[in-house]
Amino acid sequence: GLMISLIAVFALREFQQEMSMVFLPFFADMILHSGAAGFGYLNMAQGIGGVAGLVGVAALGNYKHKGKLIIFSGILVGLLLIAFSYSQVLILSIVLLIAANSFGTVFENVGRTALQTIVPDEMRGRVMSLREVTRGFVGSWVSFGLWLGGEYFGVVTASMFLGIFIMLCVLSIFLLLPSFRKL
């Protein structure tokens, strides 16, 4: 259960990353009315957030409450995606993306670290391969699902639902797996 939930955490991060690839051009052009330059700024915000998240994870060192940090950062990712989906101001959208990617990076990397610490040495390669297979499988289907959601509900609504979905999944893991909270 715990190992599968940590792999699910990685899949949820893939949802966030796919949303950016599929929807950011539309947000830049149709919502923020900032065109190619705005798209470049939004992409830059993702990179800045990723680096900030990695610096934060490195600064934490061997943090004792990994499960709680994963839950907290996952919930923040969902909230920030919801806020981003409704933002109509470029600078606010940039700040929200920096924060979302920062916490998304924490979410993913602390989950990866926790997974590596609970898996026996002789199984580590297989489990990490399973995680990567999940990434490849989930990424393709998420892109397709986001396209359908964007087509039928609009990208703002689809992005909002994605944020809600991530939060509900993370809360479910927190509530259903006491072992996760003890990581």
User: Is the dihedral angle over the CA atoms 131, 23, 88, 32 positive or is it negative?
Assistant: positive
- Report if pTM > 0.85: yes
**pLDDT tens column, 8-62:** 777 777 777 777 778 899 899 999 999 999 999 999 999 999 999 999 999 988 8
CB 21: neighbour CB atoms within 10 A? 14
Q: Between helices 35-60 and 2-26, what is the axis angle to 10°?
A: 160
